[in-house]
Structure 1
């Protein structure tokens, strides 16, 4: 019997599709690929997610790399503006509320740099959950099993009583390996609700 539903933030609770954002901004596939590699897809960004470097340090490193590849201005634009894509999904907030009203506990487990986490805290998103862990707080990124274990231990949860929802297949696979049920968020909230129903989680 499932008692706990664990949500990722980016791509699940919050709009976050950096490749679409870059394509819309630059309208050029090769430019999008290069800038993604220098920003969101870089090792520096992974270090930001893990809270291993400050935003200032991370931005300086990404700008140095961008300068060496002749796209300093474009990367600076992205670093100045990227958090504008972090829009909270209202229908997902409604789903969280409905789950809580049916007696489930809800948690978050997300890869996220400190400044983005602070923004979502200011917007009140974290208050909607019974608890959670962001990667920057424990210096570990998904899909490393240790961050999942940290959440389970912090709130004394049993893996077999948890359903984990993420837009990333590798992250969902790790949840399965640890004994949780895992659902990959692919499309609409309605599709997710039907997937939850297959886990005997009915919201009617």
Structure 2
């Protein structure tokens, strides 16, 4: 199979691991270990506001206010502080650039962190490496809905079997596979880069 497209998740794939970023945020804010992730993934209001943010039903300021309230910290520009330790993952960014230089069409596909007042995609300076950028906030649909993968394919003007998709969250992979997209569950940057090199050298 000759692949023509590469679709990459943002947080935890094109960036350093979200867990490391969250751990650093907890330390900087004086929070007990695990508190931040509990607010996002176990607190009902935290789960709701994050889901709403991802599809544009809530603003980043809403998220800042709700998560700040759950954590008992200043909500001012909280998303910026929460993502302050996130960095581009050089091995994956380099792999994406090499693919694009070789004629592969590339897309960034992300469940959104919000764009205002803090835009993490611009902050990390990697948007120029992609032919298409698909953000759930703008699309009003988020992974793992099949619709957002189809929009990525449409933006790339490619079919599923022509593309590879990389995500660190395993439940996001089956809907892409249902469209014929080859998937990689990202757990280690070097391992993912090796897999990408093998696929695109076929």
What is the aligned partner in structure 2 of residue 61 from structure 1?
A: 66
Which deviates more from structure 2 when the two are superposed, residues 149-158 or residues 104-113?
149-158
Structure 1 regions of 5+ residues with no counterpart? none
- Determine the structure 1 residue equivalent to 2:55: 50
Q: Which residue of 1 aligns with 2:183?
A: 182
Show CA shifts across 1:103-142 (max 9, x none).
2111111111232783322443111111120111111110
Structure 2 residue 198 is matched with structure 1 residue 171 = no
Distance 1:174 1:124, change over 3 A: same
* Higher Cα Rg, which structure: 1
The equivalences for 1:6-155 within 5 A come to 6-18=7-19, 21-22=22-23, 25=27, 26-29=31-34, 31-32=35-36, 34-36=38-40, 37-38=42-43, 42-64=47-69, 66=70, 71-73=71-73, 79=79, 81-115=81-115, 118-155=119-156
Specify the alignment match of 2:201 in structure 1.
202
Query: In structure 2, do the counterparts of structure 1 residues 20 and 39 end up closer, same or farther at CA, with 3 Å as the change threshold?
Result: farther
User: TM-score, normalised to structure 1's length?
Assistant: 0.81
Distance apart, 1:99 and its partner CA: 0.9
Closer, same or farther: CA 118–169 of 1 in aligned 2, 3 Å:
same
Quick one: structure 1 residues 62 and 194, their matched pair in 2 at CA, closer, same or farther if it must change by over 3 Å? closer
Q: Number of residues paired by the alignment?
A: 195
Output the aligned Cα RMSD. Answer: 2.9
CA distance in 2, matches of 1:40, 1:112: 18
CA drift at 1:162:
0.4
CA contact (8 A) 2:6 2:163 kept: yes
**Alignment partners' CA distance in 2, 1:121 and 1:173:** 29
Moved more, 102-111 or 36-45: 36-45
Deviations, residues 49-92 of structure 1 (Å, cap 9, x unaligned) = 2222112223333345x2xxxx4138779656102032112222
Q: Deviations over 1:158-192 (max 9, x none)?
A: 1110000111111112111111100111113x211
Structure 2 unaligned residues grouped into runs of 5+: none
